[in-house]
Amino acid sequence: MRPFPLPFFVLVTALLTVGCGSNSAPDAAADSAGVSEVQARALYIRKCSLCHGEDGRLMASKSPDLSTSVLSMEERVALITYGKGTMPGQKDILNRAEIKAVAQYIERFRE
């Protein structure tokens, strides 16, 4: 039986090392990874602006003014995910990264 050539062994070892990575928990920023600010804005415009307006202040259907919101990031994510009152939850429409990105985008409306 012939031994494997050294370059093959080095390549396999390198690939296995890179593929292992760390098993630490992802941070909050990683939750919205892959969703750009432009995409977050487009999602907000499509899903939220009818009631909240493009600047978060429209307040149609008695929706709250997002520029005066005191909700934390976690509370905004939960509200977008599950909805409240007349606001429908988005958990079956948007994925976790999209919801997190929209919640981050809304931060820009605060005064």
Tens-place pLDDT, residues 23-34: 333 344 445 679
Q: What is the CA radius of gyration of the chain?
A: 21
Q: What is the pTM of this model?
A: 0.69
pLDDT of residue 26: 39
Q: What is the distance between the alpha carbons of residues 96 and 35, in angstroms, rounded to a whole number?
A: 10
Domains of the chain and CATH, by start? 34-109 (1.10.760.10)
CA torsion through residues 14, 20, 25, 27, sign? positive
DSSP state, 40?
H
pLDDT at 6 over 60: no
Tens-place pLDDT, residues 76-106: 999 999 999 999 999 999 999 999 999 999 9
What's the whole-number mean pLDDT along residues 57-83?
Answer: 94
